[in-house]
Chain A
Amino acid sequence: MNNKVSRLNPKNTGQATTSEFDEEVARWESETRGPYVAAHPERREEFLTQALKWPINPLYTPADLEALGFDYKEDVGFPGEYPYTRGTGPNGHRSGFWTMTQVTGFGSGQSWSKRARYMLDQGLSGLILEYDLATTNGYDSDDPMVEGEVGRAGMALDSLEDLEEAFDLPFDQLKYLMSVCNAPQPVNLAMIIAALEKKGVDPKDFVLHIVNGILIEYTCVGRYIYPPEHGLRLATDCIEYIINNHPNWAPISIISAQLQPAKANPVQEIAFSLAIACAYIDATLERGFDIDTVAPYFHFVVNVDMDFFEGICKLRAFRKCWARLMRDRYGATKPEAMKIRMMTSPTTTALTLQQPLNNIGRLAIMATACSLGGAGENMTTPLHDEAHSLPAEEAIRVGAALQHIVAHETGVAETIDPLAGSYYVESLTKQMENAAFEEMDKIFDMGGALKAIETGYFQRALGREQYERNRDIEEGRRLWVGVNHLKLDEEKREISIFRLNDDMESEQVAKVRDLRARRDQALVDSTLEQVREAARNGSNMMESCLAAVKAYATHGEICYAMRDVFGEYGSDSQLGGI
């Protein structure tokens, strides 16, 4: 465990080896390319990858791979085998495509249910449930802190009653639900379990996937309540509870796709995501599990940006780094523990508000990169007019069609990992892997991801990237069509944001107040005391949270009971860069 992970790869010695190619490349440079470039100067002073800003050579040859100590068996191997660079499955997309998914969630429990039904009618069997900012920050709808926020960014969830309404769904069709409610995760998990029980759903016949991603919230998203150590403990409680009680469910996702919009470069994305995964893994192992049991539960969501090769290589390096980390740091032995589970997506941050139809082109390119990078088990595509409005029907249709175009029309999925062996792709993949392990060592040396969050290390690193990358655009080092290149001066931009009628908020407020008036208050009080007691004594929070939600204690009340014990974390975690 204490060995530096970056040193564990015997090939990573940094020593270049000579090659017959060096001479040949030098000859080509002086005889052929040199004179040409003298006559035709290059169009830029330097060619760099978009996010990492690594220099890109005019040409890659076997000499580059040799210099990196590249070894086919060690670095690439075969599909479905360690180190899984060529994919975790043995047959790429030849037996079946990745699963194509989309997102939903807004309004009250009832309106979510209506929309979910619509989507199930379209033949979907899986849904993603997102909540409003009141809920994800641990407040009830009538809390003065959240005036104006209720039901806006997702569903308002105050009590078990709201979920009972939301789950008025055909559960014979709904087989998978992803729930995104990180900071109050045990409360949310308990509410879903209680609601499923009420609906008589067999938990074995259904997959609940909780994102449970509090550490990335502290790093860059901001929806946290308690200090990080308690956040990690609550996440670990949920992982432990699910492994023990619902082993077919999914207890955690590391949403690397939230680090990317916060301008993590691919190396930071891999290193931060995996270091964060290690924090959860270490905490879970302390509860007495072994790595071969725990590792297969970890799931990642990774998106790609517009730099085609950075995106593809990131996905390949991600798989390889996870496998190496599980094998070398934790001594995992089962293949399942070393195969990363991944969902991929084109990033919304590549899309522009200007000239929105251009975004369809961008999405197609990024979806192709996802596919060439291995796609993962699922791919989800954002919509080209997302910056303008809530998904219009046409945008939804185009988004779905995009994935089918990539899958059926381009031929990129007909052979496994078609870019393997490309001198450039393998060089970049290996460089990313090496740099990611160096970065991880730095994080482990400072005490791991929790410490990196508490000291603001992650946040400062992202703050620098954000500022630098924005300057690249403003100063024209990176051209972005519609933003700083081929601009339309007279373009009228209409942004419409989704509006709920204000009645929705007052109805939700009235509803939660009405519930408090008619429930068994003594029972609520005693279960909330159980929550505080569990928070204090360190036992798994799930039992007391289940008791509280079943007594119709509200989401906010349970969150406040934990605030009483854990305290509240300053409102600035992800501003460490300031």
Chain B
Amino acid sequence: MSNAHQRPLRILLAKLGMDTHTVGITIIAHALREAGMEVIFTGLKQTPEMVAAAAIQEDVDVVGISTLSAGHTRNLPKLARLLREAGAGDKLLLAGGVIPEEDRPLLEEAGVDRTFTMGSDTRDIVAYLNEWWVQQLAADA
């Protein structure tokens, strides 16, 4: 078992709000598992409070949010704030889905580390996460 004693990246995937399009998040979950990551799923129709609480209980390294309704300018900043306030501001916060270019500065300002738009290649997401994780492990060592 080559990976048994390695330290896999743990990522929480969630959908905020009432939007229930799951095709994208399902594909990403499978791709991340294939890339050796532990994907924790919280289900749909989550509030920022619920995602923050789950991310802390699960001690994940990354929180990935998929959003296809238009609530992202409200609920993503709120999630970032809740994580910071709970002492978990070090988690990487990613957002994906339909996020217009002009909203990105606002989201980055609010603490979203990276956005992936709809149709992003899962291999790009995996590569980005792997690179980040290697840096984290190196910094820890």
Classify A-B as touching or not with yes or no (CB < 8 A). yes
CB pair B69–A152 under 8 Å, yes or no, is yes
Q: Does any Cβ of B come within 8 Å of A124's Cβ?
A: no
Kindly list chain B residues whose C-beta atoms are within 8 Å of the C-beta of A495: 98-101, 117-118
CB pair B69–A133 under 8 Å, yes or no, is yes
| B50 → A minimal CB distance (Å) | 10
Kindly list chain A residues whose C-beta atoms are within 8 Å of the C-beta of B46: 571
Q: Does any Cβ of B come within 8 Å of A116's Cβ?
A: no
Known: A145-B45, A262-B23, A467-B27. A498 touches B18 (CB 8 A): no
CB pair A133–B18 under 8 Å, yes or no, is yes
Known: A148-B71, A222-B20, A467-B30. A575 touches B44 (CB 8 A): yes
| A241-264 at interface with B (beta carbon < 8 Å) | 261-263
* Chain A interface residue count, Cβ-Cβ cutoff 8 angstroms: 44
How far is it, in angstroms, between the C-alpha of A467 and the C-alpha of B22 when the chains are bound?
Answer: 12
Known: A148-B71, A474-B122, A572-B44. A222 touches B100 (CB 8 A): no
How far is it, in angstroms, between the C-alpha of A4 and the C-alpha of B136 when the chains are bound?
Answer: 58
| A36 → B minimal CB distance (Å) | 37
Known: A467-B27, A483-B119, A577-B26. A133 touches B17 (CB 8 A): yes
| A185-234 at interface with B (beta carbon < 8 Å) | 220-223
The 0/1 profile, CB within 8 Å of A marked 1, for residues 68-91 of chain B is 011100110000000000000000
Kindly list chain B residues whose C-beta atoms are within 8 Å of the C-beta of A222: 20-22, 44
| B38 → A minimal CB distance (Å) | 13
Question: Smallest CB-CB separation from B124: which chain A residue?
Answer: A474
Kindly list chain A residues whose C-beta atoms are within 8 Å of the C-beta of B70: 148, 152, 497-499
How far is it, in angstroms, between the C-alpha of A496 and the C-alpha of B29 when the chains are bound?
Answer: 27
How far is it, in angstroms, between the C-alpha of A111 and the C-alpha of B116 when the chains are bound?
Answer: 33
CB pair A145–B23 under 8 Å, yes or no, is no
The 0/1 profile, CB within 8 Å of A marked 1, for residues 1-35 of chain B is 00000000000000001111111001101110000
| A124-178 at interface with B (beta carbon < 8 Å) | 133-134, 136-137, 139, 144-149, 152-153
Of the listed residues B23, B45, B70, B100, the one surrounded by the most CB atoms of chain A closer than 10 A to its CB is B23
How far is it, in angstroms, between the C-alpha of A499 and the C-alpha of B29 when the chains are bound?
Answer: 29
Q: Is the interface of B mostly helix, strand, loop or mixed?
A: loop
How far is it, in angstroms, between the C-alpha of A94 and the C-alpha of B41 when the chains are bound?
Answer: 53
Q: Does any Cβ of B come within 8 Å of A494's Cβ?
A: yes
The 0/1 profile, CB within 8 Å of B marked 1, for residues 548-578 of chain A is 0000000000000000000000111011011
CB pair B26–A146 under 8 Å, yes or no, is no
Kindly list chain B residues whose C-beta atoms are within 8 Å of the C-beta of A145: 18, 45, 47
CB pair B100–A470 under 8 Å, yes or no, is no
Q: Is the interface of A mostly helix, strand, loop or mixed?
A: loop
CB pair A571–B43 under 8 Å, yes or no, is yes
Question: Smallest CB-CB separation from B29: which chain A residue?
Answer: A578
Kindly list chain B residues whose C-beta atoms are within 8 Å of the C-beta of A92: none
| A453 → B minimal CB distance (Å) | 15
The 0/1 profile, CB within 8 Å of A marked 1, for residues 92-134 of chain B is 0000001111100000000000000111011100000000000
Known: A145-B47, A467-B30, A499-B70. A575 touches B22 (CB 8 A): yes
CB pair B18–A134 under 8 Å, yes or no, is yes
CB pair B74–A147 under 8 Å, yes or no, is yes
CB pair A574–B22 under 8 Å, yes or no, is yes
CB pair B101–A494 under 8 Å, yes or no, is yes
Q: Does any Cβ of B come within 8 Å of A25's Cβ?
A: no
Q: Top 7 nearest A-B pairs by Cβ distance?
A: A222-B20, A148-B71, A133-B18, A571-B43, A148-B74, A467-B30, A571-B44
Q: Which of B's residues lie within 8 Å of A, judged by CB? A: 17-23, 26-27, 29-31, 41, 43-47, 69-71, 74-75, 98-102, 117-119, 121-123
Q: List 14 A-B contacts (CB under 8 A).
A: A144-B47, A145-B18, A145-B47, A148-B69, A148-B71, A149-B18, A353-B118, A466-B27, A470-B27, A497-B70, A572-B43, A574-B22, A575-B41, A578-B26
Q: Which of A's residues lie within 8 Å of B, judged by CB? A: 133-134, 136-137, 139, 144-149, 152-153, 220-223, 261-263, 352-354, 387, 463, 466-467, 470, 474, 483, 493-499, 570-572, 574-575, 577-578
